[in-house]
Structure 1
Amino acid sequence: MRTTRDSTRKSVMNFILKTRAKHIRDSERSRQAVLKESQSGSVRSTDDVNLFVEQMVFLLPPFVMFPSFFPSHLCFICNHRLGLLLVCVVCVPLFVFPVFASVPSDGFLDFLCFGLSASLFGSLLIWILPPNQFDYQELLHNSSFCLVPRGRRLGSFRFLEALQAACIPVILSNGWELPFSEVIDWRKAAIIGDERLLLQVPSITRSVGRDRILALRQQTQFLWDAYFSSVAKIVLTTLEIIQDRVDSHVSRSRFLWNSLPGGLYAIPQYSTDPAQFPFYYAILGKSPSQQFTAVIHTVTPLQSQISPVVKLIIAVAKSKFCAQIVVLWNCDKPLPPRNKWPSTSVPLTVIEGQTKTMSSRFFPHDVILSDAVLSLDEDSVLSTNEVDFAFIVWQSFPERIVGYPARSHYWDSSRSRWGYTSKWTNDYSMVLTGAAFYHRYYHYLFTHHVPASLLTMVDRMANCEDILMNFLVSAVTKQPPIKVTQKKQYKETMMTQGSKASRWADPDHFAQRQTCMNAFSHWLGFMPLVHSQMRLDPVLFRDQVSILRKKYRDIERL
């Protein structure tokens, strides 16, 4: 047995030496040409090779000879200055020599050896493929795992490439302090290995279940979008981390940094308790607010007890979920006395705005105590049943805007700009805040996160504040709003055409909203609005059954 093994080893070594010598002679000219290109700076350095696993398919390449010698291996694709490389990490027991292979006619082999134990030898088999046969980005985005070795420095730009492509980074760079590791838990998005134990990578990746692979890939997308997708976000994240160090008593927890929508949208000055934000109710098992505060924006004087705002206050006050009603008096006329307002079973508070601007309707007033806010225009037409049903729906979607009037956006290819439409179609992307529920945290985010230039634009036009709120909420949640029931008329027709509230009849109103759409998308750098075709109706809504079997009976009569 020993004689047979020695004979086989001698034959194999002779074959390797002959193959290696022929390879060196044939490829010397190509190597010199590549070296000149590298020195001129026209191509990447070998250290910049991006290694990533193509679906982690552990198959021995067909050009490797004597496959019985190789019980374990790892194949992956990498990007090289000469084209795409097919790389195989091969484990050869009992033999201490580089792996042998047949040389393809359209490429050449290169051998890189790793220092392992005497009884176990590992090496890299690299086959340079023609660059026109494979697309680097396609392979990258179709990969489940990406090998991220050290680059010129300790870190590697390939780490960000993997995050962007939703490819799980397999980090092989001992001693590398990962970006923002002070607040980001990278073990939820990457597999951190030891570069000294390279041959354990296949078994580690094979042991990862499908559910965890999905969770890891989702986390890579969240971290990329939240903190690394632009230079502005990287700089802002750095500044926010420094601020948390300085103001440690109001700093964000790691839970906020590692959960949607991320630390940049969880302002610690509002609260450091995750349970106070609408995004974490489901994760923490917290129930949404059981009551709401109605905030009515008023811009016309109170003329009589049959004014639309009076009827609206009476209808909202009858809701069993209403905790209080707040009237924002942004009218130029003096505030009417208390006896002019209707008597209600819930507290009625009238706040006179100091600036009386459109953006002030979303100011985080201290009198708003409940998490749920019902935002209303003074000429909105809603019944008590409609209010109750919309609130029940909001409790299932506390992080979104839930309401009645829906609008949509579209891309105008002829003008290369975004458009705004109020046409009734099969989908929508906005729910106007003239009759909608949302969490009160968005008041704080609207006031302290939106740039002052956009707020000034809204105040100057006296328009678009509802669109801006939809942009903000969609940018945070990455989800569309929720429309409830099929209701076309939600505005009071009794409002006089000369009143300030009749801005919808202004011919410039629609053009201004088109301008706002493009200004807001330019601020964000992308279009956050998401189309939806879902509409939620009460059970048995408009079904041919007895009205006594329906809970919200008045909705169908309107």
Structure 2
Amino acid sequence: MSTLVAIRDAALNSGGDYSPAKEKAATRGVFNGRSPLLHRRIKLLLGGFKFKLLICFAFLSIVVWFSSKIGPFMEWNPHPDSSVFSPSRGGFTVLINTWKRNSLLKQSVAHYASCRGADAIHVVWSESDPPSNQLRSYLNDIVLKKSQTAHKPNFKFDLNEEDNLNNRFKPRPDLRTDAIFSVDDDVIVPCRTLEFAFSMWQSAPFTMVGFVPRMHWLDQKTNGMTQYKYGGWWSVWWMGTYSMVLSKAAFFHRKYLELYTNEMPRSIHDYVTKERYTEL
């Protein structure tokens, strides 16, 4: 017997009145009720969802547990411990390129002398006149005064006879560190940021780690010659990527000074000499 008939018979047997409204209400109840097939489908759906949810929860639990185990070994510390820069473990040489900007040079030397990782500070001097004794004395004193460690950075001028950007890449046989931080005299990188970059360089010492990104892309290919287009800071910002780091504020291995000077094609040196304002 259907639900509709049961309701109608119950109403008649109980002495109640039968009306179309009651019949309509009963009919609505029949169509809104869950049929056995629909009920089974919903149970299957919920069962599958619960199973997937259980699997996801188990997977996330494993990931969290695994991360907690390997976390101490993979953690990035933006402010490394000072023991990393002890003399026994080495530091870096700051190579400052300058030209007729003594006020900026004084600020730059004073700042980098205060950074714990600085083992030595070399000033690439490319003026026709050598630095005055007064400037030498001032910079030597400021290095000793600003240094934050017992191991005072070694300070010296690297003198060159001509003004040439290639001078900043000349080999220096008296270096005590493999790490070179090449920087222009008008660029000041905070010490804690510099030390973090140095720790990153130590993890991959034959790469270049720096603060001035640039990019290039294929422009055209004509007569078998490939030409590239150079993009400055705004290209990096707009594209969200970069393909090179400039040496005006970057760490690299000292072996590249030798490779640049003695292995690089002479045409590259000539181009740098001619285009003296090229970003390097």
Name the TM tier (shorter chain). 0.5 to 0.7
Match in the other structure for 1:437 = 251
Match in the other structure for 2:105 = 309
Residues 1:465 and 1:452: Cα distance change in structure 2 (over 3 Å): farther
**What is the Cα deviation at residue 372 of structure 1?**
0.4
Q: Please give the alpha-carbon distance, in whole angstroms, between the structure 2 residues aligned to 1:355 and 1:369.
A: 26
Q: Please give the alpha-carbon distance, in whole angstroms, between the structure 2 residues aligned to 1:405 and 1:289.
A: 27
Higher relative contact order (CA 8 A, sep 6+): 2
**What is the Cα deviation at residue 452 of structure 1?**
1.5
Q: Is 1:421 the equivalent of 2:231?
A: yes
Q: 2:98 aligns with which of 282, 295, 298?
A: 298
Match in the other structure for 1:364 = 171
Structure 1 unmatched ranges of 5 or more:
1-287, 467-558
Q: Please give the alpha-carbon distance, in whole angstroms, between the structure 1 residues aligned to 2:177 and 2:185.
A: 21
**What is the Cα deviation at residue 369 of structure 1?**
2.0
**What is the Cα deviation at residue 354 of structure 1?**
2.4
Counterpart of 1:344, as a letter, is V
Q: Please give the alpha-carbon distance, in whole angstroms, between the structure 1 residues aligned to 2:183 and 2:132.
A: 20
Structure 2 unmatched ranges of 5 or more:
1-87, 145-152
Q: 1:344 aligns with which of 143, 147, 155?
A: 143
Q: Deviations over 1:55-88 (max 9, x none)?
A: xxxxxxxxxxxxxxxxxxxxxxxxxxxxxxxxxx
Report if aligned partners of 1:328, 1:351 keep a CA contact under 8 Å in 2. yes
Match in the other structure for 1:457 = 271
Q: Please give the alpha-carbon distance, in whole angstroms, between the structure 1 residues aligned to 2:171 and 2:89.
A: 17
Q: Deviations over 1:437-484 (max 9, x none)?
A: 000000011011111222122112214472xxxxxxxxxxxxxxxxxx
Residues 1:313 and 1:446: Cα distance change in structure 2 (over 3 Å): same
Residues 1:349 and 1:315: Cα distance change in structure 2 (over 3 Å): same
Report if aligned partners of 2:127, 2:162 keep a CA contact under 8 Å in 1. no
Q: 1:324 aligns with which of 82, 105, 120?
A: 120
Q: Please give the alpha-carbon distance, in whole angstroms, between the structure 2 residues aligned to 1:379 and 1:432.
A: 14
**Number of residues paired by the alignment?**
175
| SS in structure 2 at match of 1:428 | coil
TM-score, normalised to structure 2's length? 0.58
Q: Please give the alpha-carbon distance, in whole angstroms, between the structure 1 residues aligned to 2:220 and 2:160.
A: 41
Q: Please give the alpha-carbon distance, in whole angstroms, between the structure 1 residues aligned to 2:227 and 2:89.
A: 40
**What is the Cα deviation at residue 326 of structure 1?**
0.5
| Correspondence 1:253-268 to 2 at 5 A | none
Report if aligned partners of 2:179, 2:254 keep a CA contact under 8 Å in 1. yes
| SS in structure 2 at match of 1:331 | coil
| Correspondence 1:269-280 to 2 at 5 A | none
Report if aligned partners of 2:212, 2:249 keep a CA contact under 8 Å in 1. yes
| Correspondence 1:60-459 to 2 at 5 A | 290-302=90-102, 307-337=103-133, 338-341=136-139, 342-345=141-144, 346-413=153-220, 417-422=227-232, 423=234, 424=237, 425-459=239-273
Q: Which has more helix, going by share of residues?
A: 2
Q: Deviations over 1:159-198 (max 9, x none)?
A: xxxxxxxxxxxxxxxxxxxxxxxxxxxxxxxxxxxxxxxx
| SS in structure 1 at match of 2:142 | coil
Report if aligned partners of 1:312, 1:382 keep a CA contact under 8 Å in 2. no
TM-score, normalised to structure 1's length? 0.30
Counterpart of 1:420, as a letter, is Y
Q: After the TM superposition, which segments of 4 or more aligned residues of structure 1 sit over 4 Å from their partners?
A: 413-416
Q: Please give the alpha-carbon distance, in whole angstroms, between the structure 1 residues aligned to 2:199 and 2:90.
A: 9
Report if aligned partners of 1:405, 1:434 keep a CA contact under 8 Å in 2. yes
Report if aligned partners of 2:128, 2:162 keep a CA contact under 8 Å in 1. no
Report if aligned partners of 1:317, 1:344 keep a CA contact under 8 Å in 2. yes
**What is the Cα deviation at residue 333 of structure 1?**
4.4
RMSD between aligned residues: 2.2
